[in-house]
Amino acid sequence: MTPDEILKNLYDETMIGNAPAVLDLTNEGLSIGMTPEQILFEALIPSLEEVGARFERGDYFVPEMLIAGRAMSGALDVLRPLLAQTGVETVGTFLMGTVKGDVHDIGKNLVNIMLEGAGFHVIDIGVQAAPEKFIAGIEEHKPDIVGMSAFLTTTMPMFKANINAIEKAGLRDQVIIMVGGAPVTQEYADVCGADGYAADAATAVRRAKDLIAQRRASVNA
């Protein structure tokens, strides 16, 4: 198959949630020299975007979204070590979780992969993470940054709930807080008191590095 055929088939097979085919195509693409970024950004992510659009139109239902998500996750397992393969020094510790009430994790996992690739030590506290879990994670791992993902408009208010709980625990000054997820905006991040926001994984990495540099500069000033 040519790279274009692989991309097209990956897009189509992800859409119908054919996990074995997505895995095979991912491996085949890599074996002929396609890059993990190409597979991710030119096939897998656009396919899931179309899955979401079909769900909105009522053409797809939760089971279809679920199997498409699983197919993408299988491919991510193969791409993860390749995307994270850099050998750069650790630039900071990032504690990351999807907020309480929300089970979406593909976007969070992708941000984690890119952070690892950029040299962050990432601690993933999983999905449906309650405020207590974020607090326990901060106390145990002393991260530079706490990242929260929310993918539903109904779970976005958990950012504020988490930040309030972190403040109440006396930990707010010790961490930088970043938020993100499909429905989140810079304006919403500002309103809920986060220090940073990013719309996608690559921007999240840049923002995280900038925020750490600013924090270290202000401590050393």
Work out which of 15, 43, 138, 178 binds ligand B1M, going by CB under 6 A. Answer: 178
Measure the N-to-C terminal CA separation of the chain; round to a whole number of Å. Answer: 57
Applying CB under 6 A, the span of 15-23, 26-34, 99-107, 163-171 interacting with ligand B1M comes to 99-107
Q: Which is nearer to ligand B1M, 74 or 101 (CB)?
A: 101
Torsion 11-17-18-22 (CA) sign: positive
Work out which of 99, 198, 211, 212 binds ligand B1M, going by CB under 6 A. Answer: 198
Structure tokens at 87: 């050998």
How many Å apart are CA 137 and CA 2, to the nearest integer?
A: 46
Nearest to 54 by CA among 14, 106, 15, 12: 15
DSSP string, 111-169: HHHHHHHTTEEEEEEEEEE-HHHHHHHHHHH--SEEEEE--STTTTTHHHHHHHHHHHT
Applying CB under 6 A, the span of 16-24, 54-62, 117-125, 131-139 interacting with ligand B1M comes to 54-62
Q: Contact 101/155 with Cβ under 8 angstroms?
A: yes
Work out which of 13, 92, 104, 176 binds ligand B1M, going by CB under 6 A. Answer: 104
Residue 130 interacts with ligand B1M (CB under 6 A): yes or no:
no
Structure tokens at 201: 């994984």
How many Å apart are CA 26 and CA 204, to the nearest integer?
A: 25
How many Å apart are CA 45 and CA 96, to the nearest integer?
A: 21
Cβ 170 to ligand B1M shortest distance, Å: 22
Residue 181 interacts with ligand B1M (CB under 6 A): yes or no:
yes
Work out which of 3, 52, 119, 193 binds ligand B1M, going by CB under 6 A. Answer: 52
Work out which of 19, 21, 65, 169 binds ligand B1M, going by CB under 6 A. Answer: 65
Work out which of 182, 193, 209, 215 binds ligand B1M, going by CB under 6 A. Answer: 182
Residue 187 interacts with ligand B1M (CB under 6 A): yes or no:
no
Binding residues vs ligand B1M (CB under 6 A): 45, 48-49, 51-52, 55-56, 62, 65-66, 68-69, 101-108, 110-111, 147-149, 151-153, 178-183, 198, 200-201, 204
